[in-house]
Structure 1
Amino acid sequence: MLRFRFSMADLGRVVVSDAPAIEVAASLDALGDAPRSVFMERWRTHALPRIPPSARRVVSVLRALPRTPPEILTDGCALPTEGPLWTALHAYRDACLGDVWQRVQAEKTRAVATVTGALIAHGVLAALGSLGPSVRWRGDHLEADHPKDADIDLAGRGLRLVPSVFWQTPQYTEHGIDRPTLTFPVGAAPGRADTVADPLVTLLGRTRADVLRATVTGAGTGEIARRIGVSAASVSEHATALRQAGLLHTARTGREVRHSPTPLGRRLITPGSIAPVSALAEKLATEAAGTA
């Protein structure tokens, strides 16, 4: 188990963000791990025979590495494109992850919105306590399930939190990156929304809910499109509808357009607002059934 020790400076430097390319590295581990869910089992059965010949050697080498390349943990929304390593990883991702990529990214977007909402509405300790059963706040420190047993003094460096679907156990690294980074598991699989109702999706529809959640820290149209795996035109269309409903604010600075939730929109994507959203979704469904 890892135990993270925070100073006051560290608590002020806790951030949550996505690193979409991390799922490529995480999925390489999932190829050899015992399936932890129906989704993982089905995905591995689907992916193993589809690894392109041009990527097999790189996949084997990367799976043997003790940690993730630091480039995977950058804030960029795509893999780097230069060099044979990245060419092979692109081929692997397209062949083995293409069918699930959009849903994986949407799941991670929801996780970022949930933790960021807790941070904004209730503070850093609430955010640290919202990371799931494998990462827990224990009075004066954060502990994460991990094969190693260690105390980690963050020493003013802060901590970056990154959600992962394919890594179903916490992962930690501080090598080659600016801020120590802890990945935390997101649900059992992106397909969990098929069996567990998401009230915001019931209310707004999946893509529109994902667009709203992706704006929780402010984001441009293209950035949102890359995060959730849809076109920029689709994001613009949904952003217009959300703006007309009073859930989204759009500001233009020069050629850049950035979207952020209004106070009402933030309430819908903040932990603690799920019950009201669920009740509203149920009310709308009842009214719709009554008029059918």
Structure 2
Amino acid sequence: MSDEARRSRGLGRAQRRLTATELAPVERSGEHLANALARLMPGIQVRSGRSQPGEILCIEFRNPATLVGGGCRAPLVIVDNVRQANGLVTLNTLPIANIHSIEALSPGDAGVRYGAGSGNGVIVIETVSAALDRPRAGPVRARIYDWSPETEPYPWARNLGTAVATNAAGLLAGYALSSSCLSYETLSLHFTEARCGFAANTGARLAIYAAPQLGVGYLTGRVGTTELSRGSMWRNAAAGAILSAPGIVLALTDGDDGFTGSTEIGIFMAVVGAPVASVLADRWFRGTRR
């Protein structure tokens, strides 16, 4: 057991998280994971029984209801952010060598973090493979967020409405602020005609190309935040800018420097495509809240 675990025991606090280092002696001794949890984590008890097919041991949190017997009040089991359909089977069959860490949340604590389905407590497991794949210092690798641990669906309608409205307001404000320095008559004049000094022209371009997407990225992140996860303002803004910037350029084209329908395509990309991209980024590329 780690020094932290010993200190917790000495102070009368329940050890709620075990690491691979603390589980290594359990694996070497051949002790069953369920018995190890009951021994190392006060508040967990093990009962023999086969209340469901495939179950060997019943693992549950102690409470007045469990003292009178009855069926197994099994906790919710989450492995690598995925809720297990039959958590007891997972706990009875998952090799200890595959566990990087395991955390036990009592029914009172679990309800705050995991909501529905956690009334009997929650056991959260991170496997060794997931820990190895976890992004570390260096380039950040984006991956699709697994929504299964969430208790509520993603607010698509509310966030799309917020993103479209914010984007439209931002583009209008950016146009008003930048039109004194930038020309919007043709594409060539937009990039070659300098009505203001360097600093003012740079600020004008930021007002139309960057500021609206930063606003959209911030608000989509706020609206999409849940108890367990949230998106990144910068990632949301970057996703929107990928469509917004070329959309504005295409919207300024005409028969000489564009193609059939280029103006309409550009308007659609800047007005509709950009906020949709920002919301998709907020839904797909999220981080867990600690």
* TM-score range relative to shorter protein: under 0.3
Does 1 or 2 have the higher relative contact order (CA < 8 Å, sep 6+)?
Answer: 1
Question: What TM-score does the superposition give when structure 2 sets the normalisation length?
Answer: 0.25
